[in-house]
Amino acid sequence: MYDVLVKNGKIVTADAVTEGNIAIKEGRIAAVLTKGEEPEATNVIDAAGKYVFPGAIDTHAHLNDPGFEWREDYEHGTAAAALGGYTTVIDMPLQNDPCMTDAKAFDFKENKVSPNAYVDYCFWGGLTSYNFGDLKDLDEKGCVSFKSFIGPVSPDYESLNYGQAMEAMDMIKEFDGRAGFHCEDYAIIKNQEKRMKEAGRNDWKAFLESRPVVAEIVATDAIIEIAKATGCKAHICHVSHPAVAKKIKAAQDEGYDITAETCTHYLTFSNEDVIEKGPLYKCAPILQPKEAVEEMWEYVKAGVFSGIASDHSPCSYDEKFNEILGNKIETVFDVWGGCSGIQSGFQAAFSEGVVKRGVCPTVLANAMSVLPAKAFGIYGKKGDIKPGFDADLLIVDPNKEWEITEESLLYVNKISAFVGLKGKGLPVMTLVRGNVIAKDGKVIAKKGVGELVKKLK
Ligand SMILES: [Zn+2]
């Protein structure tokens, strides 16, 4: 007797789409059965006509909890993730108070967020100029990767120069960890911004010109070379442009363990959205030209990306339109940079990829589940539809049409670049470890059902 049987669905793995049944016991996939094999189960879910994906993994989200809950918190952020289909969220260490840079902060955060999570979650560890001595502890605690920036972000989260990145990667390699980087060369960006301001420019095109793709290429190249030199595993965050993806693919083809993610907004929107609609479409790296968006999909299909992430970077309405922490927004350069997309990530990727561009569903299973789980050391528990894996499943109705509205968003701040987007193909049920968390557009589980997932040793 099984606990749950998901029957008659089109089961999507990285290799194939096959009709069949999935039997679940004690939260794990017990058997993947061929069509017609229907053992008894307490709860039978009929997925006829629908796809059954492995739950998606969001490799990059800022849930801002603890410390900045007025931007987002675990209760709202993970409920939105559940509805959207991310069954595991890998949460960032910054925009936290305290930043997650040592074992004490790890415990503090885990105690604070665990009663409120609807989906499972992993922690990125902090990697700043001042916590090299804490990296091993954070790895032992279960951090799945370490996040750093090339170029300053905020006073309490100091970024690394290339020399420090090399030193950190020498250390991280020792415990077989992975170092992740926001790759935009700060010297180029700051100087471009200065040039724009000196020319009296304050328009959205000026913002785009202040962050040219060469800045992303230069920083990515540097991290790739440092990864090669140190032998440390690296992850390039939120790749926006095919010219960057090309560099990463070349390193992967040479056999280096350099993974990368892109985000749904880079596969959905273009720089024209920034110029026409402004603040909500401001993010870093920037949204790119339409031709680049098309070419990005080719790299998704080629398996270059271990993650189509949300880079959910929530903020208040004021921070996009009026003021940030008491500082009045006077130019496009002052506007909060970031898109809120953790609820819309899967449906937009499905609609833009599978429906609009004829991408095989297996590509999404690979890019959003299998490869991220492998990159972040949780494959075997998460990321696939195979016996022994956690029963994290996403049932998708390929024919359901949708339009994203503000009211439908579960975020603390119901603002997003995705509002107004229309598409087809929607998650209609989300299971985490065999529990139905969301169904027909509603979260039905109790908060706290989500659990911390540590890097598998
Ligand atoms: Zn981010």
Q: For residue 157, what pLDDT is reported?
A: 76
Determine the average pLDDT of the residues in 407-425: 98
Going by pLDDT thresholds of 50, 70 and 90, the confidence category of residue 158 is confident
Q: Give 208's contacts (C-beta < 8 A, 6+ positions apart).
A: 271, 274, 275, 286
Output the CA 250–ligand 1 centroid distance in Å: 24
Output the CA 340–ligand 1 centroid distance in Å: 11
Output the CA 309–ligand 1 centroid distance in Å: 10
363-387 pLDDT, tens digit per residue, is 999 999 999 999 999 999 999 999 9
The owner of tokens 């999935």 is 22
Which residues belong to CATH 3.20.20.140 in the chain?
54-375
Output the CA 440–ligand 1 centroid distance in Å: 29
Output the CA 60–ligand 1 centroid distance in Å: 6
Output the CA 61–ligand 1 centroid distance in Å: 6
Output the CA 369–ligand 1 centroid distance in Å: 19
Output the CA 62–ligand 1 centroid distance in Å: 6
Output the CA 239–ligand 1 centroid distance in Å: 11
Other Cβ atoms less than 10 A from the Cβ of 47: the count is 22
Output the CA 6–ligand 1 centroid distance in Å: 35
Q: Give 354's contacts (C-beta < 8 A, 6+ positions apart).
A: 360, 361, 364, 398, 425
Output the CA 91–ligand 1 centroid distance in Å: 9
Distances in whole angstroms, Cα of residue 137 to Cα of each of 123, 141, 142, 172, 177: 13, 6, 9, 11, 12
CATH superfamily, domain 54-375, is Metal-dependent hydrolases (3.20.20.140)
Res. 437: pLDDT tops 80: yes
Output the CA 156–ligand 1 centroid distance in Å: 16
Cα 203 to its chain centre, rounded Å, is 29
Output the CA 356–ligand 1 centroid distance in Å: 27
**Which pair of tokens denotes residue 398?**
């390929």
Output the CA 310–ligand 1 centroid distance in Å: 9
Three-class SS state of 8? strand
Q: For residue 150, what pLDDT is reported?
A: 84
Q: Give 255's contacts (C-beta < 8 A, 6+ positions apart).
A: none
Going by pLDDT thresholds of 50, 70 and 90, the confidence category of residue 154 is low
**Which pair of tokens denotes residue 224?**
């790739």
- Amino acid code (one letter) for 306: S
102-121 pLDDT, tens digit per residue, is 999 999 999 999 999 999 99
Q: Give dist(CA 391, CA 120) in Å, integer.
A: 12
Pairing of strands 2-12, 41-46: parallel
In 3D space, the residue among 433, 385, 439, 430 whose CA is nearest the CA of residue 10 turns out to be 385
Output the CA 414–ligand 1 centroid distance in Å: 19
51-92 pLDDT, tens digit per residue, is 999 999 999 999 999 999 999 999 999 999 999 999 999 999
DSSP state of 428: E
Output the CA 434–ligand 1 centroid distance in Å: 30
Output the CA 141–ligand 1 centroid distance in Å: 22
Going by pLDDT thresholds of 50, 70 and 90, the confidence category of residue 159 is confident
Output the CA 457–ligand 1 centroid distance in Å: 26
Burial 53-64 (b: 16+ CB within 10 A, else e): bbbbbbbbbbbb
Output the CA 394–ligand 1 centroid distance in Å: 25
Pick the CATH number of 2-52+391-411+422-443 from 2.30.40.10, 3.40.50.720, 3.40.50.11860, 2.40.50.140: 2.30.40.10
Going by pLDDT thresholds of 50, 70 and 90, the confidence category of residue 297 is very high
Which residues belong to CATH 2.30.40.10 in the chain?
2-52+391-411+422-443
Output the CA 305–ligand 1 centroid distance in Å: 16
Q: For residue 152, what pLDDT is reported?
A: 65
227-273 pLDDT, tens digit per residue, is 999 999 999 999 999 999 999 999 999 999 999 999 999 999 999 99
> Under a CB-based contact definition with an 8 Å cutoff, are residues 296 and 46 in contact?
no
> Under a CB-based contact definition with an 8 Å cutoff, are residues 388 and 29 in contact?
yes
386-401 pLDDT, tens digit per residue, is 999 999 999 999 999 9
205-223 pLDDT, tens digit per residue, is 999 999 999 999 999 999 9
> Under a CB-based contact definition with an 8 Å cutoff, are residues 314 and 64 in contact?
yes
